Amino acid sequence: MRLRIHRGAKEIGGTCIEVEAAGKRLVLDVGLPLDAPDEEQETLLPEVPGFREPDSSLLGVMISHAHQDHYGLAAHIRPEVPVWIGEAGHNILKAASVWVPNGHAFSDPQFLADRTPVEIGPFRVTPYLVDHSAFDAYALLVEAEGKRVFYSGDFRAHGRKGALFERLLCSPPPDIDVLLMEGTTLGRTGTAEGFETESDLEERFVEACRRTEGMHFVWTSSQNIDRIVTIFRAAKKSGRLLLIDLYTAVVLEATGRDTSPTHLRC
Ligand SMILES: [Zn+2]
């Protein structure tokens, strides 16, 4: 198996990794660099055979999660290249695409599911659901020609699904030959107590609601579902009514989870 990191090793985001085995290739993520000017996006598409011209050795692209720095250049790839992404992640992208600048939805993707292997030519890819601010995010185990590569994608341990990180530590994929790990916050130390969790934030929101009368405004990403849930829980605990805009409601509905705040009647 051969690996080629096209982008993302020396910057945050813009991730794109090409994996080759037995003359076939898979690409893990095709991210937009965070500092990319809008007008240059197409020129930033990595030089991967099959992206711009037909090449049957390219078997597809796996998208770890629905953040632009991991999928943002995918709109410039030939549309017949197969794409895999989490189903809820795809639904969120699709729902959001009419609302956001440069919105993109894959036309007919195949879906990744937690710890359910996918056989693609010489590759066997097993997604591992991870805790991240993007909903439905996966690490990917790629196996071929007797070798095993584990690509972490973006992950954390202090979100609402931190248990997934503990689960990965307790039962990691064995015998990994190469670990490709995202490390945006490796250089950040946090506080002596570590990073603030979503539960810590929930308490801070509750505290803010107690301290201040009248209406509160919260400015946050609508696609950060964990954060919306944090705000919802804090509002509930404080006896406050949570109002969300239509875009947020559409994104929450796209998660397919009937426990999300969109089912609150306001
Ligand atoms: Zn991300």
Q: Quick: pLDDT tens for 105-122.
A: 999 999 999 999 999 999
Q: What percent of the chain has pLDDT over 90?
A: 81
Q: Could you tell me if 156 and 216 lie in one domain?
A: no
Query: Is the model's pTM score more than 0.85?
Result: yes
Same domain, yes or no, for 165 and 213? Answer: no
In a domain, 242, yes or no: yes
Domain boundary among 180, 206, 240: 180
Residue 186, in any domain of the structure = no
Q: Give residue 123 CA to ligand 1 midpoint distance, Å.
A: 24
The strand pairing partners of 62, in sequence order, are 28, 84
The tens digit of pLDDT for each residue in 126-165 reads 999 999 999 999 999 999 999 999 999 999 998 999 999 9
In a domain, 14, yes or no: yes
Question: In the listed set 180, 211, 227, which residue is the last one of a domain according to the structure?
Answer: 180
How many Å lie between the centroid of ligand 1 and the Cα of residue 134? Answer: 6
Per-residue pLDDT tens for 156-193? 998 999 999 999 999 999 999 999 998 877 777 666 66
CB 1 within 8 A of CB 20: yes
**CATH number of the domain within which 19 lies:** 3.60.15.10
Give the distance (Å) from ligand 1 centre to CA of residue 16.
13
Rounded Cα distance between 78 and 13, Å, is 22
User: Do 158 and 77 share a structural domain?
Assistant: yes
- 46 C-alpha to ligand 1 centroid (Å): 19
Q: Is the pLDDT of residue 29 over 80?
A: yes
Q: How far is the CA of 20 from the centre of ligand 1 (A)?
A: 24
Ranges of beta strands (E only) in 121-202 are: 123-130, 137-144, 147-151, 178-180
Q: Does residue 187 form part of some domain? A: no
Q: Are residues 171 and 203 part of one domain?
A: no
Please check whether residues 60 and 173 belong to one and the same domain. yes
**Per-residue confidence (pLDDT) for residue 266, from 0 to 100:** 37
Q: Are residues 169 and 204 in the same domain?
A: no
Residue 154 CA to ligand 1 center (angstroms) comes to 5
Q: Does residue 79 lie within any of the structural domains?
A: yes
Taking the centre of ligand 1 as the mean of its atom positions, its distance from the CA of residue 223, in whole angstroms, is: 11
CA 8 to ligand 1 centroid distance, Å? 12
CA distance 27 to 140: 11
CA of 68 to the centre of ligand 1 (A): 8
State how far the Cα of 175 lies from the Cα of 9, in Å rounded to an integer.
Answer: 23
Task: Among 153, 180, 207, give the residue marking a domain's end.
Answer: 180
Shared domain check, 231 and 151: no
Same domain, 159 and 240: no
CA–centroid distance, 76 to ligand 1, in Å, is: 20
| Residue 191, in any domain of the structure | no
Distance, CA 200 to ligand 1 centroid (Å)? 21
Distance 236 CA to ligand 1 centre (A): 28
**Distance from residue 129's CA to the centre of ligand 1 (Å):** 13
> Residue 110 falls within a domain, yes or no?
yes
Domain that holds residue 29: 2-180
Looking at the structure, do residues 65 and 140 belong to the same domain, yes or no? yes
Could you tell me the distance, in angstroms and rounded to a whole number, from the CA of residue 162 to the centre of ligand 1? 15
Angle at 125 between CA 127 and CA 136, to 5 degrees: 20
| 139 and 246 fall within a common domain | no
Centre of ligand 1 from the C-alpha of residue 67, in Å: 5
Q: How far is the CA of 65 from the centre of ligand 1 (A)?
A: 7
What's residue 7's pLDDT? 94
Q: In Å, how far are 33, 72, 197, 240 from 231, measured between CA atoms?
A: 30, 28, 13, 10
How far, in Å, from the CA of 52 to the mean position of ligand 1?
25
Helix (H, G, I), strand (E, B) or coil at 249: helix
When divided into structural domains, the chain yields a total of 2
Q: CB–CB of 120/26 below 8 Å?
A: yes
* CA distances, 112 to each of 79, 127, 141, 223 (Å): 19, 6, 12, 19
- Rounded to an integer, the average pLDDT of 49-73 is 97
Are both 115 and 220 inside the same structural domain?
A: no
Average pLDDT of span 89-94: 96
**How far does residue 57's CA lie from ligand 1's centre (Å)?**
28
Per the domain annotation, does 248 fall within a domain? yes
User: Is the domain of 242 the same as that of 158?
Assistant: no
